Amino acid sequence: MNLKIATEIGKCLSNQTRFQILEWLKEPEKHFPPHETLKHFNDGVCVTYIQEKTALSQSTISTYLTNMEKCGLLISTRHGKWSYLKRNEKTIKEFTDFIT
């Protein structure tokens, strides 16, 4: 972790919706309905579910999630036509260690 990346993460955490998404993804089963095709949350939650819950537009949420992945906060996995997002606990730890 370095200052530049840490600041990029800070930018993601400077918006309530993005911060909220990171919180929701701590416990996907508690905040999202089960996936019909994929029977588990091992790779996180699909973009559509996250988008519906935030009530922001699809393009906005897609951009948010892309940026959160770019700076390492999230990990994206594609299964067929769906993208699933989960927390990247390794980077999150590096970030909190960097602050502390």
Partner DNA sequence: TTTATATATCGGAAATTATAGATATGTGTG
Partner DNA sequence: CACACATATCTATAATTTCCGATATATAAA
- 8 A C-beta contact, residue 12 and residue 71: yes
Min dist CB 85 to DNA, Å, is 8
Q: Which stretch binds its own copies (CB under 8 A): 10-18, 31-39, 42-50, 51-59?
A: 10-18
Instruction: Please tell me the distance from the alpha carbon of residue 87 to that of residue 99, in angstroms, as a whole number.
Output: 19
Among 36, 60, 56, which Cα is nearest to 46's?
36
Q: Which does 57 bind (CB under 5 to 8 A by kind): DNA, its own copies, none?
A: DNA
Binding site for its own copies (CB under 8 A): 3-4, 6-7, 9-16, 19-20, 22-23, 92-93, 95-96, 99-100
